[in-house]
Structure 1
Amino acid sequence: MTLLPVALGGTELVAWRLDQAVHAPTWDSGEGAYRVGGRWNSKGVRAVYCSLDPATAILEVAVHKGFRALDTVAHIITAAVIADAGDVHVVDPASVPNPNWLRPGIPGAGQQAFGDDLLRRHRFVAIPSAVSPYSWNLIFLADKAADAYTLKFQEAFGLDTRLHPPTA
């Protein structure tokens, strides 16, 4: 089923995430971010990274793993419905202290501390994606938002094979 985004008449705010199939049952645990940290959280913080559209969720994984991995390793795409859009804090890009934090690159300690603070203060945080600055990520703390969303579905993800063409 193709869900319509709110901008096109959909009625639900949906968070999207793409995981290796083996990790799909624990998609909302924040385990990966807890172990290694992320762009907007320091190590030891159980942040769950999603996107506000499925294409951005795919790009966010592809930028780290490549299209080959998305084509050859089983992945699951997850859709979760945010119960109350009013729980989402939208970060104004102009309010980010260092504009380089919104660009591709290795996150620094200041960026992670900024994100940790946002996540402590807000149930959900929407922030522009570094992969595509016209797209948005949605981040939340696993324990803080557990009762504020419902799983809509999880299904096998199939990469368009044109993104991993044969080599000559």
Structure 2
Amino acid sequence: MQPSVNRLYRIQSDSHRDTILDGIGAQLRGGRWNRKGRPMIYTATTPELCFLEYIVHLEGTPLADLPPLILCEIKIPDNAITFLRTDQLPVGWNDPEVTPAGLAQFTDAQFRQHGTLCLALPSDVVPLSPSRNVLIDPLHPLRAECQIIRIESYPIDPRLPTA
């Protein structure tokens, strides 16, 4: 049985605060779980996992050089998440060096199959964590019921490497 989750977290630059629930960045650039042109909102069940997922994609940018970041807390409708186990994911989903071409198609198929607002996936950054990455489909009708309930500046601890 999966936990009931109705709060998700997202870390992003403050300059895009007005598009938190639109998935525009993923739409413009594509992502691990979505093709370019398909909006997607990348979130997690904990702020810590959000931060780890954010920093693994910095491509060498020192933490101290990042623009101001914000932590967004998002309330979603009850029972709006479909949890997927590792054995339900395509082979190679967790290879950090390669984004398998089929992941975006897999995600679209899962959203269609389950008719769900959100898909929860294990993290390839911390695969043994009970925290989950959660993809929100901004094209789903329930997206209108999502609410941003808190936005805070996200300070980066100067003790972190490269901070």
Which portions of structure 1, spanning 4 or more consecutive aligned residues, are displaced by more than 4 angstroms?
none
**Structure 1: distance between partners of 2:64 and 2:84:** 30
1:114 aligned to 106, 112, 121, which one?
A: 106
| Matched residue SS, 1:108 | coil
**Structure 2: distance between partners of 1:128 and 1:20:** 24
| Comparing 137-146 and 153-162, the one that deviates more | 137-146
CA contact (8 A) 1:80 1:153 kept: yes
CA contact (8 A) 1:28 1:48 kept: yes
**Structure 2: distance between partners of 1:107 and 1:150:** 31
Shift in CA distance, 126/106, structure 1 to aligned 2, threshold 3 Å: same
Q: Write the letter of the residue equivalent to 2:77.
A: A
User: Which has more helix, going by share of residues?
Assistant: 1
Percent identity reads: 28
Report the equivalent of 2:153. 156
The offset of 1:102, in angstroms, is: 2.5
**Structure 2: distance between partners of 1:90 and 1:137:** 10
Specify every segment of 5 or more residues in structure 2 that has no aligned partner in the other structure, as ranges.
Answer: none
The offset of 1:108, in angstroms, is: 2.1
The offset of 1:70, in angstroms, is: 5.9
CA contact (8 A) 1:17 1:77 kept: yes
TM-score (norm 2): 0.84
For residues 41-93 of structure 1, what are the alpha-carbon distances to aligned partners after superposition, in whole Å with 9 as ceiling and x for unaligned? 11111110001000010111111126723664201110011221x22100021
Specify every segment of 5 or more residues in structure 1 that has no aligned partner in the other structure, as ranges.
Answer: 1-6
User: Which has more strand, going by share of residues?
Assistant: 1
TM-score (norm 1): 0.82
**Structure 1: distance between partners of 2:64 and 2:118:** 27
| Comparing 44-53 and 67-76, the one that deviates more | 67-76
Matched, 1:102 2:99: no
Size of the alignment, in residue pairs? Answer: 155
